[in-house]
Amino acid sequence: MKKMEEYIRTIPDFPEEGIMFRDVTSVLQDKDGFKLAIDSLQGLVEDVDFDVVVGPESRGFIFGTPIAYNLGKPFVPVRKKGKLPMETISMEYELEYGTAVIEMHKDAIIPGQKVVIVDDLIATGGTIEAIIKLVEKLGGEVVKVIFLIELEGLKGREKLKGYDVASVVAYPGK
């Protein structure tokens, strides 16, 4: 059986020189790779008591919804500003060049709910830090944050200090 790392395609010098891009589309395009990704991520929460799965668009949807479905939990999408139809709360966060805004429905999290956040990759941690703030603003408790891939060189975990963070595969660089 192949290891997860064998399904993740690495593209050197993309989007710019010196960057080793970790591509998850190669995981999604392989039925065994996709199954291994979901099973591995799900394994990171097998002993966690939680009520709801939260994931950012778009790859948090791809990896979070099968886990929610398999475990009989609801899934809450976090979207870019202006994409959700009901009343929302929003959070602005820093990007490498500028800022972005994400939103979730105001009624998505019930106060006291325990939340697991799922995404494909942690780089600088800014998106997930913003999601945590949204969840907590609605009265939820983030009990675990999981990623398929972690880029350790970008130190995203530092923004998530105090939270239980886990990744399936960790790469030392950027």
Residue positions annotated with a catalytic role:
59, 96
Tokens 């959700």 belong to: 84
Distance in angstroms (rounded) separating the CA atoms of residues 137 and 45: 23
Three-state DSSP class for residue 101 = strand
Tell how many helices (H) and how many strands (E) occur in the chain.
5, 9
DSSP 128: H
